[in-house]
């Protein structure tokens, strides 16, 4: 008679995926902040506030994400929530540390927007596929897609519109346009390359991205 083994919080396969996602998202934030740009979701709110408050992106990103981490625990289960906490902490730390080791002598604002968007999109896809999120509105997006089939990327585009309306009060027209391009690129990467039914986020508390172990007959 076989016994059901409890699902581990984190496997080596999931760890490498989440580390990759954290690094890519952190790098995306570095590109955007270096050019004075913003993006959507809680990351965009944190970036925008970092331009007007004496706080860095990392602390702001973590503080804004706390309510959504509670939502993740109640709606998606302990595994998803704890992995998301690790991701949020990782991005918060990475976005603060990486600028000390990266120096952009010449960074065109358009290149920053595209690279920031691409890195963020790739990072979020990796994080989603390993049964976690980057906190904030991405949690709501995953829950909505899981329940209704409405793409998480399209949901994020709607939220982005609200963030950019506020950003218009702080950024220059050029910065606002390139910020929109970067955010659009991030979300289109997710829409075109991510399907919740094919990843660990499709089942609460269980990471389907983890390779299946062979069953013993």
For the chain, helix (H) and strand (E) counts, in that order, are: 8, 0
For residue 209, pLDDT beyond 60? no
Higher pLDDT, 162 or 171: 171
Quick one: angle between helices 78-97 and 57-76, nearest 10? 170
Quick one: angle between helices 137-148 and 41-52, nearest 10? 160
Give the residue from 95, 124, 142 showing the smallest Cα distance to 183.
124
Specify the pLDDT at position 166.
92
Predicted model pTM: 0.81
Could you tell me the pLDDT band of residue 154, with boundaries at 50, 70 and 90? confident
Q: Is 5 exposed, middle or buried (0-12, 13-18, 19+ CB in 10 A)?
A: exposed
Angle subtended at Cα 34 by Cα 30 and Cα 36, rounded to the nearest 5 degrees: 115
Contacts of 154 (CB under 8 A, 6+ apart): 187, 191
Could you tell me the pLDDT band of residue 204, with boundaries at 50, 70 and 90? very low
pLDDT digits (tens, 9 = 90+) for 33-87: 999 999 988 999 999 999 999 999 999 999 998 888 887 787 778 888 899 999 9
| Spatial distance between the Cα atoms of 189 and 117, rounded to a whole number of angstroms | 9
The dihedral region occupied by 28, where left means phi > 0, alpha psi between -120 and 50, and beta the remainder, is alpha
Mean pLDDT over each residue of the chain, to the nearest integer: 84
Q: Can you tell me the mean pLDDT for 166-188?
A: 92
| Spatial distance between the Cα atoms of 65 and 92, rounded to a whole number of angstroms | 10
| Spatial distance between the Cα atoms of 115 and 118, rounded to a whole number of angstroms | 5
CB 91 within 8 Å of CB 127: no
Please name the helix (run of DSSP H) or strand (run of DSSP E) that holds residue 124, with its range, or none.
helix 109-129
């Amino acid at each position: 008679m076989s016994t059901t083994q409890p699902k581990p919080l984190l496997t080596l396969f999931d760890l490498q995926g989440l580390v990759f996602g954290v690094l890519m998202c952190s790098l995306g934030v570095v590109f955007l902040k270096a050019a004075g740009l913003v993006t959507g979701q809680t990351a965009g709110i944190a970036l925008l506030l970092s331009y007007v408050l004496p706080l860095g992106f990392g602390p702001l990103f973590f503080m804004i994400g706390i309510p959504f981490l509670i939502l993740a625990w109640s709606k998606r289960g302990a595994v998803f929530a704890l992995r998301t906490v690790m991701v949020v902490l990782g991005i918060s730390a990475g976005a603060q540390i990486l600028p000390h080791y990266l120096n952009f002598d010449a960074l065109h604002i358009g290149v920053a927007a595209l690279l920031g968007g691409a890195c963020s999109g790739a990072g979020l896809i990796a994080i989603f596929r390993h049964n976690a999120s980057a906190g904030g509105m991405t949690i709501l997006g995953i829950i909505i897609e899981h329940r209704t089939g409405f793409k998480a990327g399209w949901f994020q585009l709607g939220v982005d519109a609200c963030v950019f309306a506020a950003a218009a009060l702080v950024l220059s027209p050029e910065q606002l346009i390139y910020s929109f391009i970067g955010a659009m690129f991030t979300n289109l990467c997710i829409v075109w390359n991510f399907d919740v039914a094919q990843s660990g986020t499709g089942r609460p508390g269980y990471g389907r991205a983890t390779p299946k172990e062979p069953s013993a007959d």
